[in-house]
Amino acid sequence: MKRSAIVVAILIPLWVITIGVGIFVLMKYEFTPGIGGMPGAHWPSNTQIPLSIDRPTLVMFVHPQCPCTRASIIELGKLITNYKNRLKAYVLLFSPKSVPSGWDRTALRNSAQSIPGVIVLSDIDGIEASRFHSVTSGQTMIYNPHGQLLFSGGITAARGQEGDNPSLNSAKLALDIQSSKTRKTLVFGCSLISSNKK
């Protein structure tokens, strides 16, 4: 057997193994949820976000530089389209005081602002995230007009994955039924406050 054939015979399996390991690592990351915050059963009394008195209120917390959250914003757009005038929605972008002005002015902010009816706010130092006990980018909460928590979690199937999924459907069911039982899903995204993204 020629030396070149031996080298090829060794390199091809190594190449296949390397590709396989890489795919496994990426898939594991994509389907590993973030830490799900534990919001209270009722609207926080100390929040500066107004609770709608005539329709459910949705609050989504976002790290403005988390690439995973792009899919969450896209799914939020679909949700808003389905529930146009039946839902008040806020997107709060984490914005530390210690970073330069404009740090949170990213494509994610622009995407959120392009959704009709969504109010986009900067959450300075994550104060509101703390009040709602949200720790992962993309975490979404829906409350009824009485301040009862209807839904808490993510609205994507995995990190950065768009498309119809059980989590989004769970949020829709929470809006349709408005039961006193809170629907919960996994949330896929970067850490909101402890992230080192710059």
- How many domains does the structure of the chain reveal? 1
- Distance of alpha carbon 24 from alpha carbon 13, whole angstroms: 16
Residue 138: what pLDDT? 95
Taking the C-alpha atoms of residue 108 and residue 62, their distance in angstroms, rounded to an integer, is 8
The answer to whether residue 42 is domain-embedded is: no
Tell me what the mean pLDDT of segment 96-106 comes to.
85
Encode pLDDT of 117-132 as tens digits: 999 999 999 999 999 9
Q: Is residue 154 assigned to a domain?
A: yes
Q: Give the helix, strand, coil percentages of the chain, each rounded to 5.
A: 35, 20, 45
Report yes or no on 4 lying in a domain.
no
Domain-located, residue 73: yes
Q: Is residue 196 part of a domain?
A: no
Supply the range of the domain harboring residue 73: 57-184
pLDDT single digits (tens) 4-54: 666 556 656 655 555 544 444 444 444 455 666 677 889 999 999 999 999
Cβ atoms of 93 and 66 within 8 Å: the answer is no
The CATH number given to whatever domain includes residue 84 is: 3.40.30.10
Contacts (Cβ under 8 Å, ≥6 apart) of 74: 111, 162
Q: What was the pLDDT predicted at 101?
A: 79
Confidence (pTM): 0.81
145 assigned to some structural domain = yes
Residue 179 lies in a domain: yes
Distance CA 88, CA 172 (A): 14
Contact predicate 92/62, CB 8 Å: yes
The answer to the question of residue 108 being in a domain is yes
